[in-house]
Amino acid sequence: MFKVNENYLKLPGSYLFSTIGKKVNAYAQENLDKKIIRLGIGDVTQPLAPVVIEALHKAVDEMGHAETFHGYAPDLGYEFLRKAIVEHDYQARGCKIALDEVFISDGAKSDSGNIGDIFALENKIAVCDPVYPVYVDTNAMAGRTGEYLEETQKWSNVIYMPCTAETNFAPELPSEEPDLIYLCFPNNPTGSTITKKELQKWVDYALKVGAVIIYDAAYEAYITEEEVPHSIYECEGAAACAIEIRSFSKNAGFTGTRLGFTVIPKELKCKGVSLNSLWARRQGTKFNGAPYIVQRAGEAVYSEEGRKQTKEQIAYYMRNAKVICEGLVSAGYTVSGGVNAPYIWLKTPKGMSSWEFFDYLLEQANVVGTPGAGFGPSGEGYFRLTAFGSYENTLEAMERIKRL
């Protein structure tokens, strides 16, 4: 008789954004006359930049001719895209990353979920609390997190690093030594960031205790402050202890187009075994690459025009972030984030729990957000709004919230 992976049975509920999606759809079905504004999941709303569309069309045409047709992509991804990434994301910031240290993928979510494949089950993970649920759920699926404890809403074998108002929503070095440390800056969900000097402390710590940092930099394009690093490789020694995961979803609107990449420096080794070669083996076996046409679209993001057009999109979303922050503050809310990130983290009013506030906002203002508790126990009493809506909807959502 076959057996299922029982680790899945330990997972509480469904994936956070699926739960929210179901709740909102049920409400929408029962309230057909209501215009719901969705500022929950961090999904973009602006169309792809014209230069990206042009590149897609061109690549589609190439696929229609035998001479320019492309089949399976190379294991690591096309060199034209890896070159653009190395040059613009790394060399331009003084980071020495080689072409064969970049692995093109179909997005940061799958990479951050799959990266656990190359690590032993015995590794103990440390995560921020609140945290992007994919890091924890995928480790739970692998059987690395112990048991889920309903009373504390924590896993028994996970090191939680509370990110609270007292710590400026940034984690502090854990007292118990982890093997794998998940960091995400600018942070999802709180929108917080740390300076290069602070990130250097994490790199030094990882090198000291022999841990690997899995650094999710999906929101780096939203950084506005000078002292905030765009890549962990800006820190000294990071190439020997850090993996960086990036996405085209938030900087160029590829949430539906799917493209991302992971950087694993060859210097990153465990007892002489290179993680770069393990990941190459994993991807070569389990993944057939992002489509040629999408990789061409990704290349266009790095062209001069592409950088200009995507910068305008980011400015558009950051204008929304400002509208949300200012609107909430004027309505008396305590707010953070929204400066280097498209997420605004607010304290729920009148002692409401995050799910109570979710229902209240949905029913009274027809605005959807994400309850902080869905990201971990320290998220209780908080709520996340995204700046990825349209400007008009964002303005309207704020007007509705102010009227509550």
Candidates 38-46, 51-59, 327-335, 351-359: pick the segment binding ligand MLT (CB under 6 A).
38-46
CA nearest to 321, candidates 335, 308, 334, 304: 335
Which residue, 20 or 264, is less far from ligand MLT as judged by CB? Answer: 20
Candidates 37-45, 88-96, 207-215, 277-285: pick the segment binding ligand MLT (CB under 6 A).
37-45
C-alpha 126: how far from its chain's center?
17
Q: Using CA atoms of 343, 344, 349, 354 in order, give the dihedral in degrees to the nearest 10.
A: 10
The token duo for 202 is 């994490």
Q: How far is the CB of 22 from ligand MLT (least distance, A)?
A: 15
Q: How far is the CB of 192 from ligand MLT (least distance, A)?
A: 14
Which residue, 48 or 76, is less far from ligand MLT as judged by CB? Answer: 48
42 binds ligand MLT (CB under 6 A): yes
Give how many residues touch ligand MLT by CB under 6 A. 6
Which residue, 160 or 388, is less far from ligand MLT as judged by CB? Answer: 388
List the one residue from 188, 283, 320, 394 that touches ligand MLT (CB under 6 A).
Answer: 188
Q: Which helix (H) or strand (E) holds 278?
A: helix 275-286
The token duo for 241 is 């202890």
Q: How far is the C-alpha of 186 from the C-alpha of 384, rounded, in Å?
A: 14
Query: What is the DSSP secondary structure assignment for residue 37, as one 8-state letter?
Result: E
Those residues with Cβ within 8 angstroms of residue 244's Cβ, 6 or more apart along the chain or in another chain: 215, 217, 231, 232, 233, 262, 263
The SS3 call for residue 397 is: helix
Candidates 21-29, 35-43, 233-241, 332-340: pick the segment binding ligand MLT (CB under 6 A).
35-43
193 near 186, Cβ under 8 Å? yes
Which residue, 113 or 237, is less far from ligand MLT as judged by CB? Answer: 113
Candidates 39-47, 170-178, 202-210, 330-338: pick the segment binding ligand MLT (CB under 6 A).
39-47
Q: How far is the CB of 287 from ligand MLT (least distance, A)?
A: 18
Segment 195 to 224, residues that bind ligand MLT, using CB under 6 A: none
Which residue, 47 or 74, is less far from ligand MLT as judged by CB? Answer: 47
Q: How far is the CB of 234 from ligand MLT (least distance, A)?
A: 23
Q: How far is the CB of 237 from ligand MLT (least distance, A)?
A: 29
Which residue, 43 or 54, is less far from ligand MLT as judged by CB? Answer: 43
Q: How far is the CB of 211 from ligand MLT (least distance, A)?
A: 25
Q: How far is the CB of 280 from ligand MLT (least distance, A)?
A: 25
Q: How far is the C-alpha of 329 from the C-alpha of 367, rounded, in Å?
A: 17
- Strand blocks (E) in 30-83: 37-38
Other Cβ atoms within 10 Å of 230 Cβ, number: 19
Site string for ligand MLT, 48-67 (x = CB under 6 A): --------------------
List the one residue from 82, 109, 144, 154 that touches ligand MLT (CB under 6 A).
Answer: 109
Q: How far is the C-alpha of 299 from the C-alpha of 81, rounded, in Å?
A: 5
227 near 195, Cβ under 8 Å? yes
User: 343 pairs with which residues across the strands?
Assistant: 386
Which residue, 42 or 289, is less far from ligand MLT as judged by CB? Answer: 42
Q: How far is the CB of 111 from ligand MLT (least distance, A)?
A: 11
178 binds ligand MLT (CB under 6 A): no
342 binds ligand MLT (CB under 6 A): no
192 binds ligand MLT (CB under 6 A): no
Other Cβ atoms within 10 Å of 98 Cβ, number: 13
List the one residue from 24, 41, 115, 367 that touches ligand MLT (CB under 6 A).
Answer: 41
Q: How far is the C-alpha of 231 from the C-alpha of 65, rounded, in Å?
A: 39
**CA-CA-CA-CA torsion sign (209, 212, 218, 222):** positive
Query: What is the DSSP secondary structure assignment for residue 89, as one 8-state letter?
Result: I
The token duo for 355 is 């799910």
Q: How far is the CB of 328 from ligand MLT (least distance, A)?
A: 18
131 binds ligand MLT (CB under 6 A): no
Residue 257: exposure state from Cβ atoms within 10 A (0-12, 13-18, ≥19): buried
Q: Which residues bind ligand MLT (CB under 6 A)?
A: 41-43, 109, 132, 188
